[in-house]
């Protein structure tokens, strides 16, 4: 069930997060409640999509209405976006479980978070989607959202033994992302 799978992810997070440090924030209670609703939809034969019940992490420069969007910066500590980014809203509409926000380089260009490589904690997880790629590489989550201008999804995914994808410019909406360059910003899994 989605709840059983979520609990497996949470167990892995509890075991690996102290070393990997992939998350900026989490709301396990909300994820569990959403997983229970998803489990019921699957039992009723009426899932919202194939992603219904899938635990997901969201890079901390992408707006979420229920979790703070701190952008890896003390300047935005506890800042709350008024609404979800369009990519997050689409995931929620598909029944995905927003488990938490993943660590990022400050504003996706600055100071690196304390996230470590899930295979060797003495090495970097890369950047700027560090936490997103490390969470998938560590088996904490099956899917996360990251952003890329130059190599911010592909590089950390390659460092962390995860699969990352940078779609063509404009394929996925960047509404609700902290902007860096309107001609280069990409949202990707």
Residues designated as active site: 59, 128, 152
Tell me the CA end-to-end span of the chain in Å, nearest whole number.
23
b/e string for 40-72 if b means 16 or more Cβ within 10 A? Answer: eeeeeeebbeebbbbbbbbbbbbbbbebbbbbb
Tokens 């992603």 -> residue: 51
Nearest to 25 by CA among 128, 110, 131, 120: 131
């Amino acid at each position: 069930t989605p709840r059983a799978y979520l609990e497996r992810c949470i167990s892995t997070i509890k075991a690996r997060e102290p070393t990997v440090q992939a998350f900026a924030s989490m709301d396990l209670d909300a994820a569990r409640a959403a997983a229970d609703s998803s489990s019921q939809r699957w039992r009723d034969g009426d899932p919202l999509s194939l992603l219904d019940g899938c635990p997901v992490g969201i890079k901390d420069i992408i707006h979420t209405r229920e979790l703070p969007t701190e952008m890896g910066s003390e300047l935005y500590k506890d800042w709350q976006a008024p609404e979800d980014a369009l990519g997050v809203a689409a995931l929620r509409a598909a029944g995905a479980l927003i488990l938490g926000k993943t660590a990022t380089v400050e504003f996706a260009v600055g100071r690196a978070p304390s996230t470590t490589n899930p295979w060797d904690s003495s090495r970097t997880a890369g950047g700027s989607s560090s936490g997103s790629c490390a969470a998938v590489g560590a088996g904490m989550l099956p899917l996360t959202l990251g952003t890329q201008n130059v190599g911010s999804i592909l590089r950390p995914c390659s460092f962390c033994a995860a699969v990352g994808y940078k779609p063509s410019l404009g394929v996925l909406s960047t509404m609700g992302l902290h902007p860096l360059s309107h001609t280069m910003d990409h949202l990707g899994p």
